[in-house]
Amino acid sequence: MSDKPKIAMYWCASCGGCEESVVDLAEDILFVVENVDIVFWPVALDFKKKDVEAMEDGSIVASFINGAIRTTEQEEMVRMLRRKSQIVIAYGSCAQTGGIPALANLCEREAILQYVYHDAPTVKNPEGTRPQLETRENGFRATLPEFHNVVRTLGQIVDVDYYLPGCPPSPKLLKEAVIVLLSGNLPPKGTVLAPDKALCDECARKETKPETMEIEAFHRPHNTPVDPELCFLAQGIVCMGPATRAGCGAACTCGNMPCTGCYGPTSRVEDQGAKILSSLMANLAPKDEEGIRKALEGIPDPVGTFYRYAVAGSLMRGKLTK
Amino acid sequence: MSDKWQPTIVGFFCNWCTYTAADLAGVSRMKYPATVRVIRLMCSGRVDPQFILKAFAGGADGVLIGGCHPGDCHYLEGNYKALRRFEMMKKLIAGFGIDEKRLRLEWISAAEGEKVKRVIEEMTQQVQELGPLDVPKIFAGWDEELDKLEEEIKKEAEEPSHV
């Protein structure tokens, strides 16, 4: 084995976009593979769990873990990678704040299983079979991971050293993170490896953001014409920009879609959804209850809108059920 | 005071009106349930929605916001901002499974000591009817499953599986 720093990548509850973002490094991936040894990356390389188990504790320099944590298998793997690694990096919004999978925290576990194995229109399951945690046959025992009650962020399971935000993180951020790790000049623990300012700062529409805003009503991008130059908030379209960290190069607003908040909050914000709610409501025009309620009809799903990527990492963590 | 379960209500009172009214209720020797923990802020417009969620997450059964009557805000518009945030927060907490009756906004001027008493009595009774929220306990219930893994690993070591 070479003496290059050992790196691991692992995939928990996520769509695979984070893995794809590594491939999006394009020719820069050559720089990465030249400088590091990838010792574990199930999506691309044939290493097994037992290979990681055999490694000495702390022998991996950095583990990049993407995805939220929903099953016992994911929990077990990230605990093991934590033991084997000097640095654990939560890669992408699912690992950082729960991401899209954490929207499932608005439903009870039983309701999800009921839908997926019985009620979904594409399911044909006359015997009502569900996966079992354990099956015994001919003296053999086979097990499946257990589905946890709630989706968790990586940081709610293991100690996390750094965060790379985004859905997915931009290749630029990844490359910068690798350079920082290789330099040995590490930032303080807990640092989010992206600029600590709001997305509005790098948005091309910044100049058109009104000094004082008076939003009369909220519109959704699919049922209103969207001006491709004008600040979304000035058009009454919910844009998470003011409560979201920069670092993506304002990719969505350049594509004529408002920011949905995937880079998470800046360091001054604890709860991203509550913060954007605060800002939007301050800039609403109506002053009477009826007018306010009417304007709010334009936001039919506040939790899904303000916490699209952050339910698990929010102060409430999910829908409260006893 | 009765032996009934007493809720914990966090009160965010504006310095210029509701806090002064609560002070007036005090010096007037009015009695009301000791259920509200008052936090004095300069303006109801300073009530960051994060504070409300933090109060619930920390174990509050209810949150009461007190501000100046419309038109009377010391900072002109602060209470309108509070009202808009309050309307949105009711929808938001409902989405998180919290009954919107656990969140209340009242305009109470500095002269209305009596109203402080009445609102606290009413809200205490209302939250009593809803029962404890106790978010920390709900979180602890969710997290019980995390301890199970250690046992599983131990069991696995004794009886290895074959797939």
pLDDT tens per residue, range A177-221: 989 988 889 999 999 999 999 999 999 999 999 988 999 999 999
List of chain B residues whose C-beta atoms are within 8 Å of the C-beta of residue A143 = 161, 163
pLDDT tier, A28 (very low <50, low <70, confident <90, very high otherwise): confident
Give strand ranges (E) for chain A: 6-11, 37-40, 60-66, 69-71, 85-91, 134-137, 140-143, 147-152, 162-164
Tell me, what's the pLDDT at B2?
A: 61
Separation CA A120–CA A305 (nearest Å):
24
Separation CA A130–CA B112 (nearest Å):
61
**How many CA atoms lie within 13 Å of B85's alpha carbon, on the beta-carbon side?**
29
Measured between its terminal Cα atoms, the distance across chain B in Å is 64
Measured between its terminal Cα atoms, the distance across chain A in Å is 52
Nearest to B159 by CA among A132, A134, A74, A80: A134
Distance (Å) from the C-alpha of residue A15 to the closest C-alpha of chain B? 24
Cis peptide leading into A168, omega within 30 of 0? Answer: yes
pLDDT at B163 over 70: no
Distance (Å) from the C-alpha of residue A174 to the closest C-alpha of chain B? 31
- Contact assignment for A277 to B95 by CB distance below 8 Å: no
| Greater pLDDT, A24 or B109 | B109
| Selected residue of A108, A151, A307, A320 to mutate for chain B interface (largest B Cβ count, 10 A) | A320
Nearest to A270 by CA among B135, B62, B90, B51: B51
**What tokens does A64 get?**
């990049």
The partner residues of B106 in beta bridges, in order of sequence, read: B66
Tell me, what's the pLDDT at B1?
A: 53
Nearest to A274 by CA among B79, B51, B84, B103: B51
Rounded to an integer, the average pLDDT of A259-276 is: 96
- Contact assignment for A282 to B88 by CB distance below 8 Å: no
Separation CA B94–CA A319 (nearest Å):
9
Q: What angle do helix axes A28-35 and A171-183 make, rounded to 10 degrees?
A: 30
The partner residues of A177 in beta bridges, in order of sequence, read: none
- Contact assignment for B87 to A296 by CB distance below 8 Å: yes
pLDDT at A85 over 70: yes
- The model's pLDDT over A274-293, given as tens digits with 9 standing for 90+, comes to 999 999 999 999 999 999 99
The partner residues of B38 in beta bridges, in order of sequence, read: B11
- The model's pLDDT over A254-263, given as tens digits with 9 standing for 90+, comes to 999 999 999 9
Of B50, B133, B142, the CB nearest to A274: B50
Where helices occur in A36-155 by DSSP H, the ranges are 49-54, 72-84, 93-97, 109-114
User: Is the C-alpha dihedral spanning A264, A228, A20, A70 positive or negative?
Assistant: positive
Residue A207 carries which DSSP code? G
pTM of the model: 0.93
